[in-house]
Structure 1
């Protein structure tokens, strides 16, 4: 079909628009022996998880498409760099380049780059996201979210200057990961969180529902190998199968129920590393496999004083 295809545009929106939300699941945490004592005020927010400065590369590929969705192939790569500590906060740089083909000769290319910073107490979150789709030009989301009492104030510079508030119960991405790990360690199987991460147009808040499976201890067999399962430090760690479903908070419900915008499944190590990623967008499913993992080329963040 020549011209605008609503179904294809919808697929591009989901596959690319939610890419910003992938980066938290690629975090890696340091072994406890290498952790640094932090001030009491910061220690509470990052209890049990100290993140390692690192960089990683992931390959994306199409698993399957469903229904009338015309998606013949999808592939891409994600490069991710993370650094910081509980004293200075956490900085991440993320880039995803992807290609989608609808099977009718139409290929969509997209390139998204983002950088963010979050303090360890979950009070401040700064983000900047730049997206380029085919020849349609570049779009940008730039803003900061500040927690103050029972509300979060978000100040956007782009795509339009705007200030608004979000329910203070919402958490930022790194805090979301910490809470899932904490729940898993406590033996909980379900966790509900409201999340604000600046994705899409910077104005959306998502309700999330996490299902945590039984722990896989230490040397438990992995369905497929990758740099995380081959790493000697990682082999001794416990991991859990986790599925997180994302629901747009203000979306309309149908017959009293709401269908998730998408769901993410992965194995989450106790130190924050995620592997065996599967992204279910209802109409199609994408897998993300870790290809490279490197800490030697990343300058470690300064230790806490």
Structure 2
């Protein structure tokens, strides 16, 4: 039965140049928005709790937890619990990660490793699920750098951005080809149809945000008929220039999950000396 987890990479964000960094905690409430085709998904619910701290000089730390429940009728329910902790260097050259996923009452599956940018390639060293070392293309970026480049592209007025992204998910060996579509800038004083704690925060009202949709493709997979490849999933959200994300929508092809921010807290952070 299908399950859903949000791509961790969509939440990690450093500030764009000239924008103050905000360390924060955000809570998102998940619910089913719609099912497509023959998908037998009757309901879905859950929460995402996200913590982000750090700076360009000491690196960025992200703590992410998603607990979700998916019901497909006839008492068929899948409960998933995803926990992820990562650290990424401010220059985007180093990345450490640990991801634990538990389905129903089964044993947790763990991915633990690190990646380093070395010259024209990236070297990944996994501890779990198996000890392994391998290399990736030098163009591959880590999650924080991914969002940093989206913000930079949005500031430049670009509407499309393509990146190869490695975040350590799945078995720790998957690279995603991503296609990001960036919409027109939204000023903080624009009326919001569905306000949340971020749009009500006086500090956030001064900031610009952009509607963003990131489609994630399995870089190693090929279309069966040679045609256009279908994304594994797509994530839409409004991205503030200081890295906060609101109004989430997770599209898993067969069904779509919405994530509304219910709590938002700005944390104290130490600026670089």
Indicate whether the TM-score tops 0.5. Answer: yes
Task: Tell me the CA shift for residue 218 of structure 1.
Answer: 2.8
- Whether 2:239 is the aligned partner of 1:304: answer no
Residue from 95, 119, 127 that aligns with 2:97: 127
SS in 2 for 1:47: coil
Task: Tell me the CA shift for residue 223 of structure 1.
Answer: 2.2
Partners of 2:237 and 2:108 in 1: how far apart? 31
Partners of 2:80 and 2:149 in 1: how far apart? 32
Give the strand-richer structure, 1 or 2: 2
Task: Tell me the CA shift for residue 303 of structure 1.
Answer: 3.5
1:149 maps to 119
SS in 1 for 2:199: helix
Measured on the aligned residues, the alpha-carbon RMSD in Å equals 1.5
SS in 1 for 2:198: helix
- Whether 2:257 is the aligned partner of 1:286: answer yes
Task: Tell me the CA shift for residue 217 of structure 1.
Answer: 2.0
Give the helix-richer structure, 1 or 2: 1
Partners of 2:141 and 2:20 in 1: how far apart? 18
**TM superposition score normalised by structure 2:** 0.95
- Whether 2:200 is the aligned partner of 1:230: answer yes
Partners of 1:303 and 1:230 in 2: how far apart? 25
Partners of 1:179 and 1:127 in 2: how far apart? 20
Partners of 2:246 and 2:192 in 1: how far apart? 10
SS in 2 for 1:82: strand
Partners of 2:89 and 2:216 in 1: how far apart? 23
Runs of 4 or more off by more than 4 Å in structure 1?
A: none
- Whether 2:237 is the aligned partner of 1:266: answer yes
Could you list the runs of 5+ residues in structure 1 that have no partner in the other structure? 1-7, 30-45
Could you list the runs of 5+ residues in structure 2 that have no partner in the other structure? none
2:216 maps to 246
**TM superposition score normalised by structure 1:** 0.85
2:50 maps to 80
Partners of 1:244 and 1:222 in 2: how far apart? 22
1:23 maps to 11
Task: Tell me the CA shift for residue 275 of structure 1.
Answer: 1.1
Task: Tell me the CA shift for residue 183 of structure 1.
Answer: 0.7
Task: Tell me the CA shift for residue 50 of structure 1.
Answer: 4.5
Is contact 1:28-1:54 (8 Å) kept? no
For residues 66-96 of structure 1, the C-alpha deviation after alignment (integer angstroms, 9 at most, x for no partner) is: 1111111111011111110011000111111
Which residues in structure 2 correspond to 1:45-84 (within 5 Å)? 47-84=17-54
Partners of 1:195 and 1:168 in 2: how far apart? 11
Partners of 2:221 and 2:89 in 1: how far apart? 29
